[in-house]
Amino acid sequence: MNTKITAAVLAAATATVALSGCGLKEGLTEKANGHVKTVGYTTGAEGKRDEKARLPEWVPDRARSVTEVIRTTGSERILRFTGGTLPAECVPGAAATQAATLVAQWWPQGQESRTDKVCGEWHVLVQGDDVFAFKPETLVSTRS
């Protein structure tokens, strides 16, 4: 086998192992608007055990296909999962007035403006079996 191909395969395998573990998918990228981390879990219970990502406690343990994008230099987050029943702390509430600056293929543009429930600091929308949630940025920028 060609030495260059062997090295490339070994590098790809090492990167795959380094970025995955125990069902957790994680990536960190530099964006023009700050550091962004994406995490994914098979269930809500699995995500709550990850102390580094701090999946919100209101996410049902039985939630499936949990994906979250987190601004690591602030507090803004977007979240999507399937299934599970929202707890009583999630009550009807106004849609978010602050626009999301985080993006993901699974997050429809403007989704935060369609939310109709509030779970603590999160604005939530249930569409069929899918749940979308947005936590607006609360840190104040000191840039002038």
Alpha carbons 50 and 34: distance in angstroms, whole number: 22
Q: In terms of Cα–Cα distance, which of 97, 69, 75 is closest to 141?
A: 75
Give the tens place of pLDDT for each residue, 88-122.
999 999 999 999 999 999 999 999 999 999 999 99
With residue 7 as reference, give the H or E element that holds it.
Answer: helix 3-18
Give the amino acid at 73. Answer: T
Q: What number is the average pLDDT over the span 21-44?
A: 66
For 119, the token pair is 């779970």
Q: Return the structure tokens found at 20.
A: 């995955």
User: The pTM is what?
Assistant: 0.75
User: Could you tell me which of 88, 84, 90, 75 has the C-alpha nearest to residue 46?
Assistant: 84
Average pLDDT over residues 20-35: 48
User: Do you know the residue count of the chain?
Assistant: 144
Give pLDDT tens digits for 114-124: 999 999 999 99
Task: Output the pLDDT for position 54.
Answer: 78
pLDDT given for residue 51 in this prediction: 86
Q: What is the percent of the chain with per-residue pLDDT over 90, rounded to a whole number?
A: 65
